[in-house]
Amino acid sequence: MAHAAPASPKMITRRRRPDVFSARTHAAAQVALPVVLGLVYGFWAAANQRHGGPITGWNLLFGFVTALVFAVVFAALWRLAPRLPRELHALSWFAFTGCAIGFLYSQTGASVFSSSGLGLLVGAGVLAMVFYRYYTREDAAGQRVD
């Protein structure tokens, strides 16, 4: 029977996933993703605020301002958070997600306590998920490996 020859430690390397997109596509995605997510979030917040009623000018303004704020904060967090240690990186996504969900829920007319509770609950789930992801993708020195 044939067996595989043992590989030397020098030959064992971590394989990286191939980058199938060009640098131009990545640059476009850094602008397009926050804009698209912001527009979806702004539309959702405006729809929650009007409670199924007619679309007004103030409602449109509210939706676009909400979209702008969401897109700017998301883009800043997406750009700056990877430079933070894993604990602060995960905590920043927890705060962003919790605030975003709590604000959306508050536009439905829910109380401050239930909006805060839902924001904390969803944010805690995001915190656990992203902390696990960042923790499992670092070496012993705390450097990212992927």
CA distance 137 to 132: 9
Residue 54 located in a structural domain? yes
Does residue 93 contact residue 77 with C-beta atoms inside 8 Å?
yes
Within this chain, do residues 62 and 111 fall inside the same structural domain, yes or no?
A: no
Residue 63 located in a structural domain? yes
**pLDDT one-digit tens code per residue, 49-104:** 998 888 899 999 999 999 999 999 999 999 998 888 888 999 999 999 999 999 99
Within this chain, do residues 89 and 143 fall inside the same structural domain, yes or no?
A: yes
pTM of the model: 0.80
**pLDDT one-digit tens code per residue, 84-95:** 888 899 999 999
Within this chain, do residues 94 and 48 fall inside the same structural domain, yes or no?
A: no
Largest CA distance in the chain: 77
Residue 146 located in a structural domain? yes
Within this chain, do residues 78 and 91 fall inside the same structural domain, yes or no?
A: no
Spell out the residues 6+ positions from residue 110 whose beta carbon is closer than 8 angstroms to its own: 118
Within this chain, do residues 105 and 125 fall inside the same structural domain, yes or no?
A: yes
CA distance 93 to 16: 25
For residue 10, the model assigns a pLDDT of 58
Within this chain, do residues 79 and 93 fall inside the same structural domain, yes or no?
A: no
Domain assignment of residue 90, given as a range: 85-146
Burial of 90 (0-12, 13-18, 19+ CB in 10 A): buried
Residue 36 located in a structural domain? yes
Q: Indicate the average pLDDT of the chain.
A: 88
